[in-house]
């Protein structure tokens, strides 16, 4: 099995598509969390084959904006 090197944040910020591990590395979260968000369709992604998941940058930005809005709504109700 070939191991891919992990990319630096500067490289990740320039990408237009992410794999779950890359997005988890960029955001400082676990890959299981990213996979959960994909499986529940909160984070839009597409499957390329059986095990490859492609997450477009536009979907990441939409997902982050929605999470921020949701957190803002929680703060107002606290």
Q: For residue 53, tell me if it sits in a domain.
A: yes
Q: What is the pLDDT of residues 7-54, one digit of tens each?
A: 777 877 888 999 999 999 999 999 999 999 999 999 999 998 888 899
Strands of 52-56's sheet, edge to edge?
17-18, 52-56, 46-48
| pTM (global) more than 0.75 | yes
Confidence of residue 62 (pLDDT cuts 50, 70, 90): very high
> Into how many domains does the chain fold?
1
Which CATH number is 47's domain given? 1.10.10
Q: For residue 9, tell me if it sits in a domain.
A: no
The first and second tokens of residue 15, run together, are 């990408």
Q: What is the 3-state secondary structure (H, E, C) of the chain?
A: CCCCCCCCHHHHHHCCEECHHHHHHHHCCCHHHHHHHHHCCCCCCEEECCCEEEEEHHHHHHHHHHHHHHHHHHHHHC
* pLDDT value of position 40: 96
């Amino acid at each position: 099995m070939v191991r891919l090197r992990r990319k630096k944040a500067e490289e990740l910020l320039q990408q237009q598509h992410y794999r779950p591990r890359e997005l988890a590395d960029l955001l400082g979260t676990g890959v299981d969390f990213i996979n959960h968000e994909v499986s529940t369709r909160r984070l839009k992604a597409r499957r390329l084959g059986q095990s490859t998941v492609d997450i477009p940058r536009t979907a990441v930005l939409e997902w982050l904006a929605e999470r921020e809005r949701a957190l803002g709504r929680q703060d107002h109700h606290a």
